[in-house]
Amino acid sequence: MSFAPFAAIFIIAWLWVALRKLENGITFVIAVLPFGMFAAISVAGLSLLLAHFLAMLTMVALVVRWITTRTSGTSVLLPIDGRYLVFFAAYALFSALVLVRLFAGDFLVFPMNLNAGTTQVSIFFPSSVWLLRPSNANISQAFYILLSCGFFIAAISASKRFGRQIIELGLVIATSINIFLGILDFLAMDNLLAIIRTADYSLANQQQMAGIARVIGGFSEPASFATTSAALTAYFAMSALIGRKTRDVVLAVGNLICTVFAFSSTGTVALVCAFVLILLHGRGFLTNTLSRTFAHMLVILAATVVFAVCMILLLTPAPDLIADMVEHQILEKRNSMSGIERRAWAYSAFAAFWETWGLGAGVGSLRGSGLLSVLMGSVGLPGLIAFGGFLYYALIRPIGHHDADIQRTFYASRIGSLTLLCSMLLSATSADPTLLLMSLAALATVSRDEAVQTFNSASREDTTLEAGAAL
C-alpha cells in the first residue's frame, strides 16, 4: 500500500473545514472532483482517488454522528428518487456478490482489467476476453457505486439542513480549480501536475490534434476532462442566463474553452447536447422579467462572439484544425481501433444481458461501452429500471413556476446532469454514476423539494386568508 504525501495537505484541510461544520466536508469533496488522477491511496494496483477517499471519510463521520447523537435534525426522509437509488445500489451489491457467481463460466466477457484476459479476439485491438468469473473488480466497482449513492443521500441531508449553498459552493470551487488545472496543462507544466497525477492510470498527455496538444487538466486523458468541463459549462451557462451573475458567465466560458481544447469527440457531443438542452429550456430565462439591459448584453455578446469567430476563421489555421478534428474525432472514429474496440465491448455487454436472462452479470464483471450497455450487462433490467426511476424523479419531472433562484438552481443542475449523462451514454465503461452526477442530481432534488415546500406554504397562507375573510 502506498500513500501520496501531498494528499496529506488535503486531508488536513478537510479536517479543518469538517471540524468547524461536518457538512462542509460535502463541499470539500465536490471541490476536489477536478483532481481526477490524484490518488490518495494505492493498494495492489488499485487507486483510491482523493475525492472518493474524502467522500468515504465524510460519510463515515456523518454516520458516526447520527449514531451517537440521534437528534431529530440529523435524520432525513429519503425522497422517491433516493429510494430508487438505494434499490439500485442494493441490487448492484447483490449482483457483485451473487450473480457473478451464479453465472460464472457460462460465457465470455471483456474484463475490467484489460490485461487480465487470456484470449485476444481481434487483430484490430488488444483487448482480450475470459470466461465470466468473480474478481477484485466486483468488490471495487460495487464500492464505488455504494459510495456515490451514499454521497447523494449525504448531500441531500446536508443541503436540507444548511441550504443549497453546501453543494453550490463546492461546484464553484471545483469549476475554478478545473479551469486552473486546464491552464497548467495547456502551458505544459507537467512537473507541477505530476504532484496530483498519482493514480495507477495510463497517462495520455502527449496526444495532439493538428499539432496542438490536447488538454487533460487534472485527469488522465482528454475525454474525462472534456466531459467534466462540458457538464460544468452547461450548469454555469444556464445559471448565468437565469441568475445574471458575472461569476457564472466567467466560469461557463472558462470551462467551455477547456472542453474545446480537450479535442474530444465525447466532449464535443456533450457540448452540443448542452446547447440543445439550454435552448429547450429557453422559457426559464426568456421571460417577461428579462430586463432591457440584459437583453442588450445578450445581443452585444452574440455579435462579439460572431465577429471573433469570423476573425479566427479568417486569420488563423482554425478551419484546418476544425476539419482535422471532425475527420479524426467524428467521421473516422467509428472505424478507428478505439471505435472498433468500444463496439466490441458494447456488443459483449448486451450479449451478457441475454445470457443472464436480463438479471445482469454483476457490476465489475465486464467492460462495456456506453452507460446503457454497461447497465444492461452488469445489473440487468432490475438495475436499469431502478436507475431510470432515479433519473426521472430527480431530473425529468417538471418543477413548475417558482422563485427565480430556485428555478435557476434546478434548471442549471438538471442541464448539467443531462449533459454529463449524454457523455456517459457514449463513453462510460462502468456502472458507477460518479460523484459529480450525484452532486448535480442532489442539487436538483433539493431545489424541487424546496419549491414544493414554498408552494405548500403559500397554499396554506392563502387558505388561512380565505378562512379569515369568510369569518
Q: Report CA-CA distances (Å) from 209 to 175, 206, 239, 258, 331.
A: 25, 10, 32, 14, 15
What is the distance between the alpha carbons of residues 97 and 471, in angstroms, rounded to a whole number?
65
Mean pLDDT of 303-307: 72
Cell of 464: 388561512
Q: Are 160 and 74 a contacting pair, CB within 8 Å? A: no
Of all residues in the chain, what percent carry a pLDDT higher than 90? 46
Alpha helix stretches (DSSP H) within 70-135: 80-94, 100-102
What is the distance between the alpha carbons of residues 391 and 73, in angstroms, rounded to a whole number?
27
Q: Report CA-CA distances (Å) from 298 to 272, 285, 412.
A: 20, 12, 18
Residue 55 has pLDDT above 90, yes or no: yes
Mean pLDDT of 347-355: 94
Distance of CA 127 to the CA centre of its chain: 26
> pLDDT value at position 173?
96
> pLDDT value at position 128?
80
| Mean per-residue pLDDT of the chain | 84
Neighbours of 126 (CB within 10 A): 12
pLDDT tens digit sequence for 188-236 = 898 888 898 888 777 777 776 666 778 999 998 888 999 999 999 999 9
What is the distance between the alpha carbons of residues 72 and 176, in angstroms, rounded to a whole number?
36
pLDDT tens digit sequence for 152-179 = 999 998 998 888 899 999 999 999 999 9
> pLDDT value at position 340?
80
Mean pLDDT of 383-396: 94
List CB contacts of 80: < 8 A, sequence separation 6 or more: 393
> For 58-72, 243-257, 268-282, 356-370, which range has the lowest pLDDT when averaged over its residues?
58-72
Q: Are 52 and 148 a contacting pair, CB within 8 Å? A: no
Mean pLDDT of 66-71: 74
Cα four-point dihedral sign 11, 12, 15, 16: negative
Residue 290 has pLDDT above 60, yes or no: no
What is the distance between the alpha carbons of residues 212 and 324, in angstroms, rounded to a whole number?
11
pLDDT tens digit sequence for 114-128 = 665 666 676 666 778
Confidence of residue 288 (pLDDT cuts 50, 70, 90): very low
> pLDDT value at position 459?
56
What is the distance between the alpha carbons of residues 422 and 443, in angstroms, rounded to a whole number?
19
What is the Rg, in whole angstroms, of the alpha carbon atoms belonging to the chain? 23
> pLDDT value at position 389?
95
What is the distance between the alpha carbons of residues 283 and 278, in angstroms, rounded to a whole number?
10
> pLDDT value at position 427?
87
Cell of 80: 422517491
> For 25-39, 191-205, 213-227, 421-435, which range has the lowest pLDDT when averaged over its residues?
191-205
Q: What angle do CA 175, 421, 27 make, to 5 degrees?
A: 35
Mean pLDDT of 250-264: 91
